[in-house]
Each structure stands twice: as structure tokens, then as C-alpha cells.
Amino acid sequence: MPYSEKLMNYPPTRKGDQVDDYHGTLVADPYRWLEDPDSEATQAWIEAQNQITFAYLGEISIRDKIQQRLNKIWDYEKYGIPFKEGKNYFYFKNDGLQNQNVLYTLKSLDAEPRVLLDPNKLSADGTVALSGLAISDNGNLLAYGLSTSGSDWQEWKVLDVDTGEDLPDYLNWIKFSGASWTNDNQGFFYSRYDEPNEKTKLEDVNYYQKLYYHRLGTNQSEDILIYQRLDQKEWGFNGGVTEDGRYLIISVWLGTDSRNLVFYKDLTNPNSEVIELINQFEADYSFIDHDDSVFYFRTDLDAPRGRVIAIDTANPDKEAWQEIIPQTEATLEGVNILNNQFVADYLEDARSQVKIFDLQGNLIRDVELPGLGSVGGFGGKRYDTETFYSFTSFTTAGTIYRYNMVTGESEVFRQANVDFNPDDYETKQVFYQSKDGTQVPMFITHKKSIKLDGNNPTYLYAYGGFNISLTPNFSVSMLVWMEMGGVYAMPNIRGGGEYGEEWHQAGMKDKKQNVFDDFIAAAEWLIANNYTQPAKLAIAGGSNGGLLVGACMTQRPELFGAALPAVGVMDMLRFHKFTIGWAWTAEYGSPDNPEEFPTLYAYSPLHNLKPGTAYPATLITTADHDDRVVPAHSFKFAAALQAAHNGNTPVLIRIETKAGHGAGKPTAKIIEEAADKWAFLVRTLAIDV
């Protein structure tokens, strides 16, 4: 009998007697002790779980071959989009298998590039990552943030671009912040929290972010406090200096709510007050640029798919606001000004479109793109006549184009050379009907040679939340899956931003079940249309997508052959008690609210596991340093799943060490995890490779 068909002996997990009262409903939480990641008991549990998981994965003979193929295809040069500050160009590049991307600088595009910052030299195992950067207007100074082992906590330093040497400046306790230089190149604005408890900094809640100005050559203790709100512990602040250096634009955020406030400060007057331009959380406002007192914004106010408006700060009453670019059927994702024109990035059915308008809102042209895919870039200064953008699709690795803003012509600047033939694959977009009749789009990619006989191993992946859009992207890992005969399906379910704020809100709070229904309907469509069958179907997602997988596998365990929830939010009754989890109540609702508790309790993956149920083969993945979605979510869910599961399929947890939520993860760790994931599916879905 194969190992995967034996009843597995899971490590025993102690049950406590913790019971909580939620508005009259008593809820047991027997694995509360696993919330302490540093306790001896939890550490022993992690070691025991990893032991059984890696023993299982180690017995899959195809695993090494999969990892070798991943390494081979992954080993190609990857270029980032070039950008210019002062007289210097900058870009990121990865030679192929480097753990972290390297930042280069050069004086002109045909000059010899020079390594400016190589994060691979900051740690032997690649677990120190560059997590943010800001270059001064003259291009001579680089402020950069570093993250260790995937933590959201950052430390910031300053580097002299010409010499490549670090200056003495050192800033700490920064999280969820970038940096923005003043145009005199003497310092920058950034946001930070008060110093946390060193022992519990990866779990403690984060409140009272403050906006500071750091002057070069001074100690962080001397930084000038620009703005704080002691009456609003949940507010966060992003400070950005306008291109001409005149204003500091302060975007005020509240958790993960897409609505924000906008304040500003006149930097030409050292004694100027912070002015509250938009002081109600009613819509999203993204600052674009300004002409004197007229500020341009991309907003979804009265336009859920986005539009461009102008607000004259000399007459800021809402009645005086002007519409520059109206809402269209496509979703307006972002806007920049180049060549004194608006460059607008749209999504139409989750595919990129780029349009150029004059400052009065008249359409000048559509940018001709290489195909159906995703575009990034179009950055630069207001009067730049050239810019760069990247194009990618499910079968096109990131290609960098140089775009002439005057002629409208694109030319290839850097093209990836990947060891595969894109002509062997095809992508289609279908629309299927969800439970309530809503039409949902889904991309399906696979080898052209597959047969629709219901026997194809299929990987169904989605996210469904926080206004985040999933668009076509190239993945070496997914390419290896498709080489093995796998189908990749990516539905654009509700909760995302593909169709604007209405689509997002249709998957929030008491409407969250729509998200799960959309995902389940995608699975049913793939089965009904002979792509696959339940025994060959795997579902996957990370973070909020991990919650998606957890909810769907508990609601419809018979529908899936395997489940891969990564760094998931699994305990919907306690998510708000750790790090930045409180911020998600804007998306999910709060269990402390008696009206919102029943909805959360009804789908919380941890609380909807039913003893005696046969669940799909499951590989839960998390990391011991995840301070975004703390690993207790996955720990408690794994313990409860192993206790409830009544079947021969393995339910395992893979716990990465010295890693966090995913950002900055070294290439080596990404490849190892991908190899484990595909090996697990080869075995549990009985894939003939």
C-alpha cells in the first residue's frame, strides 16, 4: 500500500480547555497555546510537524527531478523597469538564481552598469531583503529599507550613489512606509511606530503610526514629528513630496479600507500647518500631480471604476471639483503625468489597457500593447518624453519596452530568454455563472495538446479580497506544472478590484460568502466542461487566498482532491488581535461586533472543521516569522484538521524557518517550496509524469 494511502500517525497535539463567550455563543479554542510561537511546546510541535511533512515529501521520487527542472528554467536574466533620478538611471536585475534582485545604476542607457546595492551580500542565506527605496531628486543619494526573515519591520539606511558607501544615518521601527525626499536633497519623510517589545514584536498589535522628517546626518531621535493623531490610534500616514518639491501630500489610511483622507503641507513655508483637504473616509483618492493650487486625483468617488478629478485648494468645496477623465466601462487602476499628459492604466476584464489623455481629458491615443496581458511601469517625471513599461502574460516572461511619448512607438529594451516554447501553450478567458447568477471571468492556460476528457490535473488559484486584482502573469513554477500536463485556472472572483469598488464590496463583510461561492462555481465549471474531476482538482491561495481555500475545503470537502492554503487567515474570531490584523476589520468585519460575529463564525475555517469528515489532501504552508498573518492561524488550523480528518489522504503543514509572509523570500526557498508543492500534488492527485 503506497505511503499516501496509509492512515498517518500525526504528532499528538495537546488540547487545552480554553472557551470564549462571543455575545452569548460559547466557542472552544483548545489550541490557543499554539499562538505563542516561541514557547518550548510550540517549538517542539513545529519540529514534530515538519519532521512528518518532510519525511512524506522526501519519499516522492519525482521531487528532485521537479526541483532540477525549476532550477533550470528559473535560471534566466530578469530585468526590472529602468527609472531615472537626476543624471542617473537605476534598475533591478537578477542573473537567474540569485536569492535577491540586485540594484544597478548607470549614467546613460548604453553605459556600463555598476552594482549599487546587492542584498545577497547582506546574509549568507538570502533572508535579508531590500524592502523599499527612495532616491533623491539629484540622483546622488539612496534611502533604502531592509527586512530580515520576511518581517514587515524595516530598518532604513542611506547610501551615497557615487561612492557606494553607507552614510551614518540609521532609522528603525518602520513598517508600512516608504520614504520621500525633499527636493533640496537634505532629508526625507517617513512613517514609524514606537519601539515595540523586543520579545513580542512579531505578534503585538501596531497602533499610532507617526509621520516624521529625517535630516541627513542627524540621529533618529532628532527627527521632526510632522503629524500624529493620538485620538486616532488606527490611522496611518504616507507622506509624499510633489515633483516640484512644493507640497507634502499626506494620505491617511485606516487599516485596509480602500477609502482614505488627504492632507497637505506647504513646504515653502517652514511654519505652515497641515491642511485637511479631504477629511472624510468616503472614497479612494490617489494624488497624481498639481498645477499651482489645482490638485489632480484618481478617485472612485461616485465612480466605482475610477475617474480623474481636479480640486482647486483655493476653492476646495466639493461643488467646485471638476471631472477631467470620466468613468468608463474599464477599471482605472492608476494615472501618471508624462510629457505633460495623463497616462492612464486600465483593466478591461482583468487585462491591461493604457490610454493617453491631454490635461483637459481629451483622448490622444491608446498605447498599442504586444497582446493580452499585464502592464507595469509608465513612470517618470512630468516632462519626460520617454518612459519604460513591462509586459507579461501567462506564457510571456517579463519583457521591458521603451516607449516614446511623442510618437507613441514602443521598442523592446530587454527581453527574457526562457527555456520553453510559448507556442506549445494556450490561454483562454471564459465567463461562468456563480451561485447568484453573477458572471465571473476566468483565465485558463495549458498545453495545446491536452484532451478535455475530465482527467487533467488542475490547479485552481484565486485571491478574492482587499480590492486586489489578479491579472495575467508569468510564473516559472506554473510553467513546470503545465509541462507535467497540468491546467492552470485563475478566476477573477468578487472581493478583488478587477471591476472596481462595487466588485470589491460584493465580496466584503456580510457578502464574503460570494467570494467562496464564486470559487466553488469555478471548480464546478471546470468539472462540468471536462477539464478535470474532483480527484484531480487542487485549490490554492495565499493570505486572504489561504482563507478562501480554508473556507471552500470546509464547505465542500468532496469537491477537491487537494488543498494548498498558504499563510492563510484561518481564525476569523482572533485575527484582529495580532500585529496589523485589526486593520482587516474594514474588509472582514469584527468578531467584537455582535452583528458581524455570526457571519465570521459561519465561515471561519478553524471553526467549521467537522470531526469524522474526509477532507482533501492538504499541504498547509506558513513561516515562523510571518508577522502579517501570524503563523498561529496555520498552526491551529493544522492541529484541528488533523484531529477532525477521517480519511487516508495526508493533511500536513510545512513550516518555513527564517521566512515571513512571502515578500523578499529568497529564490532558493521559493524553488524548494514549489518543488514540494508540485511533488505533493503529483502523489496525492495520482499524476502520471
Among the listed residues 152, 289, 626, 627, the single catalytic one is 626
State whether the Cα torsion 317-323-329-331 is positive or negative.
negative
Q: Is 140 left (phi over 0), alpha (psi -120 to 50) or beta?
A: alpha
For 57-62, the CB contacts below 8 A with 24+ separation are: 57/654, 57/676, 57/679, 57/680, 59/3, 60/679, 60/680, 60/682, 60/683, 62/679, 62/682, 62/689
Q: Enumerate residues 6+ apart whose C-beta is below 8 A from 97.
A: 71, 74, 75, 667, 668
Q: Considering only CA atoms, which of 150, 92, 20 is closest in space to residue 622?
A: 150
Determine phi and psi for 169, rounding to 5 degrees.
Answer: -60, 135
CB atoms within 10 A of CB 52: 17
Choosing from 477, 543, 604, 634, the catalytic residue is: 543
Does residue 39 carry a catalytic annotation?
Answer: no
* Secondary structure (3-state) at 653: strand
In the annotation, is 147 catalytic?
Answer: no
* Beta-bridge mates of residue 376: 390
Query: Which among 225, 215, 276, 282 is positioned nearest to 251, based on CA atoms?
Result: 276
Specify whether 626 is catalytic: yes
Q: Which of 29, 257, 661, 676 is catalytic?
A: 661
CA distances from 238 to 46, 157, 244, 578, 614 (A): 37, 19, 18, 22, 47
C-alpha cell at 423: 507556442
Q: How many CA atoms lie within 13 A of 630 on its CB side?
A: 24
Sequence-ordered strand ranges (E) for 35-101: 78-79, 83-85, 88-94
Residue 262: Cβ within 10 Å count: 20
Distant-in-sequence, close-in-space partners of 453: CB < 8 Å, separation ≥ 6: 530
If DSSP codes are grouped into helix, strand and coil, which group holds residue 71? helix
How many angstroms separate the CA atoms of 496 and 515, rounded?
Answer: 9
Give the residue numbers annotated as catalytic, written as ranges: 543, 626, 661
